[in-house]
Structure 1
Amino acid sequence: MGKQFTDIDAARQAFIEQQPLFFVGTAAADGRVNVSPKGLDTLRVLGPNQVVWLNLTGSGNETAAHLRELNRITLMFCAFEGKPNIMRLYGTAAVLHPRDAGWDELIGLFPDLPGARQLVVVDVDLVTTACGFAVPLLDYQGERQELNRSMEKKGPDGVRDYWQQRNQLSLDGRPTGI
């Protein structure tokens, strides 16, 4: 039976921090729903009702486009080892770019990862947990380094060019704010 909570307590924070992978779900009022896997060391719990994640450069930028139009968001964490559990954080989010106020104070919470594109600050209004009995057991082998190597190879100017060429619009043609 699923449970509902109003905040991220210490036990829920510990669960979040143990997960090497989480999923982000967003949608605009119409068009495609986007669900993206997120890894590396890119999420921090800021308090009982707020998290931030470092959004790295990728092939698309759907989350940013959706949040510009409709700022609702869901983050999902699954236990792929140990005790079964699924946790979802529901709330609203704001996207920060390197040019925005607040970026400098939050970016220091993360390792210096190449291709850092945006910070997404999530105000959490509901936390749910579910059994996770059907989530498979998987062995975590480590982080993939292909994204970091690709962004390092491009260099800062190449990353900015990539943003201009590939990250300006969503699949549905919505602006991303990059």
Structure 2
Amino acid sequence: MAKQFPSIDDRLSDFLARQHIFFTGSAAPDGRVNVSPKPASALRILGPNQAVYLDQTGSSNETAAHLGQSNRLTIMFCAVEGPPQILRLFGSGRVIRRDSSEYADLLAGPFEGHEPPGARQMILIDIDLVQTSCGFGVPLFDYKAERQSLDRWAAAKSSEELEAYQREKNQISLDGFPTGLFAGE
């Protein structure tokens, strides 16, 4: 039932555009595997073999830490409304730091200058395989709205408070790997 593709074509891109959530999967050579949910509104398809998402401050920074150890990254979408389908983007990931010109260019371009409160970094994936599967086991849900909790939490903090939180919670992974968040200092 699974089908593999070398890149994202128009049909797959249309599927991605209709989704509300995706999950990232990453792992270092040793330690825990991390799976994180992300709002689909944070993702931009840059080309048939490249995508990027704008990553907001969270309770940890596992994906960045894992990418510093191993560049393996998988992004998975699953339809929770409409026809069933799962789509995975397999590839190599890397972190784009918030203070870099590449970040600024992507923010100005594909993200049209919109940077949500608590923006931390971007994660770019160079896709080497796209795979779809049936999704028959994924339950149906009715989408209501995006949660505003993370944006409200970050917006309520000063830049100093947000940086203090990131320094406390986002510099080291659960397995003790550095995330590189403040590596430029």
TM-score range, shorter chain: over 0.9
Q: Provide the C-alpha distance between the structure 1 equivalents of 2:132 and 2:18, rounded to a whole number of angstroms.
A: 15
Greater Cα offset, 159-168 or 72-81: 159-168
Contact map agreement 2:9 2:48 (CA 8 A) in 1: yes
Q: Provide the C-alpha distance between the structure 2 equivalents of 1:56 and 1:40, rounded to a whole number of angstroms.
A: 13
| Cα deviation, residue 100, structure 1 | 2.2
Contact map agreement 2:87 2:132 (CA 8 A) in 1: yes
Aligned residue in 2 for 1:61: 61
Contact map agreement 2:19 2:40 (CA 8 A) in 1: no
Where 2:104 maps in the other structure, the secondary structure is helix
Aligned residue in 2 for 1:130: 133
Match of 2:156 among 153, 156, 159: 153
Is structure 2 residue 115 aligned with structure 1 residue 112? yes
| Cα deviation, residue 101, structure 1 | 3.3
Contact map agreement 1:24 1:36 (CA 8 A) in 2: yes
TM-score (norm 2): 0.94
TM-score (norm 1): 0.97
Q: Provide the C-alpha distance between the structure 2 equivalents of 1:51 and 1:135, rounded to a whole number of angstroms.
A: 24
Aligned residue in 1 for 2:172: 169
Q: Provide the C-alpha distance between the structure 2 equivalents of 1:14 and 1:155, rounded to a whole number of angstroms.
A: 38
Aligned residue in 2 for 1:94: 94
Instruction: Read off the aligned partner of 2:46 and give its amino acid letter.
Output: L
Greater Cα offset, 157-166 or 144-153: 157-166
Where 2:116 maps in the other structure, the secondary structure is coil
| Structure 1 residues 36-55: aligned runs within 5 Å | 36-39=36-39, 41-55=41-55
| Unpaired stretches in structure 2, ≥5 consecutive residues | none
| Cα deviation, residue 157, structure 1 | 1.9
| Cα deviation, residue 40, structure 1 | 5.7
How many residues are matched? 178
| Cα deviation, residue 14, structure 1 | 1.2
Q: Which runs of 4+ in 1 moved over 3 A?
A: none
Identity of aligned residues (%): 52
